[in-house]
Amino acid sequence: MRKKVYWIEGDGIGPEIWRSARPVIDAALAKESDMTLEWVELLAGEKALAETGSPLPESTLSALMRADIAMKGPLGTPVGAGIRSLNVALRQGLDLYACIRPVRYFQGIESPVKHPERVNMVIFRENTEDVYAGIEYAAGSPECRMLREFLCDKLGVSKIPATAALGLKPMTEAGSKRLVRRALRFALDNGLPSLTLVHKGNIMKFTEGAFRQWGYDVASAEFGDASCTEQDPLPGRLLVKDRIADAMFQEALLRPEQYHVLATPNLNGDYISDALAAQVGGLGLAPGVNMSDSLAFFEATHGTAPTIAGRDKANPGSVILCGALMLEHLGAPAAAKRIRAALEKALAAKTVTVDLADQIPGAITVGCAAFGGIIGENL
């Protein structure tokens, strides 16, 4: 069986981590399955801009709209000026509403917390709404003045300084429920004990507070025979609970073993997934996937790391682990398990890239290509 996988190389360290990661993914699959992957490159980011004049060509979007599997390296995001985030544009244009990030500890990595092995969570982050919808206006702009005047004159809002920049935070019942629904199905399919709705509903009552309520509503209406709440716990059922976002950060440090699946609005999910990754050793070993109802788009969770791009220092681990997630999604869990075991063996041997060497006492530092080669040999 042959499966087509569209891939985007990415900016910065993208090319070198791809060169290290792809052979590992292909080799692991070959050892465990008769499935083969047909890799089809699509252009986005700096490479697309140089070759087509656009950072996100229509041909790329068109191909992805017809695809069911894709992978990508990191794409650059300008801060404060320039084009909008390519990552956000892809998520919104392809309706990749669920950002799913599993976070677990790999033995041998030094962590800033005492018991990183207690962290084993999967974050389901809503990916298209919230402040990431990109509805904001620069301070002093005509649009910002118009919005301020409407809020103050028509809706009676006070205390908005004339110098303020303004943004909007749209969150819908449909968008929130489909995200929580997906997280609930995952938790039940994998026999996990709990799902936690992470929100700031004590302050933002009609957006994040609504997210919390919509989450409980979909659990009750569609999964009522398989779930329960903290107010009415039932043995053998999925426990659906909620935590205010700042309290969840404390819980993640003090009692991470009590949390298994987190369902979050967009911004909360961005924060908590990176913070949890830091607890287990950083983003270098953090995979992720953005999913619509038809497309699974696997991507490295770290950035482009321009200061080390082209210097053979990057860690390909995130993309390699994205490959493991993809193989599981394609029905080859044994190949995914083989990749993770090969990575753990490399960590145990303490011959790793510089970011990991900084966290492993007595480690020997190797380059991106060599580290990928070690993992491949360990398969």
**135, 168 in Cβ contact below 8 A?**
yes
Q: Is the pLDDT confidence value at 228 over 70? A: yes
210: which residues sit within 8 A by CB, 6+ positions away?
171, 173, 176, 201
Per the annotation, does 268 bind a ligand?
no
Q: Is the pLDDT confidence value at 273 over 80? A: yes
Per the annotation, does 315 bind a ligand?
yes
CB hemisphere CA count around 366 (13 angstroms):
17
Please give the DSSP secondary-structure letter assigned to residue 80. Answer: S
Q: Is the pLDDT confidence value at 167 over 50? A: yes
Nearest Cα to Cα of residue 6 among 42, 31, 33, 37: 42
Q: What is the pLDDT of residues 365-376, one digit of tens each?
A: 999 999 999 999
Confidence at residue 81, expressed as pLDDT on a 0 to 100 scale: 47
Domains, the chain, ranges and CATH?
1-100+293-378 (3.40.718.10), 111-131+171-280 (3.40.718.10), 136-169 (no CATH)
Confidence at residue 132, expressed as pLDDT on a 0 to 100 scale: 87
Structure-token pair, residue 8? 């985007």
Q: Is the pLDDT confidence value at 236 over 90? A: yes
Q: What does residue 22 show for φ and ψ, rounded to 5 degrees?
A: -60, -45
Nearest Cα to Cα of residue 275 among 112, 127, 85: 112
Per the annotation, does 22 bind a ligand?
no
Per the annotation, does 212 bind a ligand?
no
**259, 252 in Cβ contact below 8 A?**
yes
**In the chain, % of residues over pLDDT 70:** 98
Please give the DSSP secondary-structure letter assigned to residue 361. Answer: T
In DSSP notation, 263-299 reads EE-HHHHHHHHHHHHHHTT-GGG-EEEEE-SS-EEEE
- What value does the mean pLDDT of the chain take? 93
Q: What is the pLDDT of residues 43-98, one digit of tens each?
A: 999 899 889 988 899 999 999 999 999 999 999 865 544 556 788 888 888 999 99
**In the chain, % of residues over pLDDT 90:** 83
Weakest mean pLDDT among 5-14, 73-82, 191-200, 260-269: 73-82
Catalytic machinery residues: 132, 200, 246, 270
Average pLDDT over every residue of 298-314: 90
Q: What is the pLDDT of residues 112-153, one digit of tens each?
A: 899 999 999 999 999 999 998 889 999 999 999 999 999 999
Confidence at residue 173, expressed as pLDDT on a 0 to 100 scale: 98
- Strand, coil or helix: 180: helix
**245, 272 in Cβ contact below 8 A?**
yes
Nearest Cα to Cα of residue 204 among 275, 147, 267, 249: 267
Nearest Cα to Cα of residue 87 among 149, 132, 137: 132
Average pLDDT over every residue of 224-251: 96
Confidence at residue 284, expressed as pLDDT on a 0 to 100 scale: 79
Nearest Cα to Cα of residue 379 among 304, 316, 324: 324
Average pLDDT over every residue of 237-242: 98
Q: Is the pLDDT confidence value at 352 over 70? A: yes
Confidence at residue 322, expressed as pLDDT on a 0 to 100 scale: 96
Q: Global pTM?
A: 0.91
Confidence at residue 376, expressed as pLDDT on a 0 to 100 scale: 96
Per the annotation, does 127 bind a ligand?
no
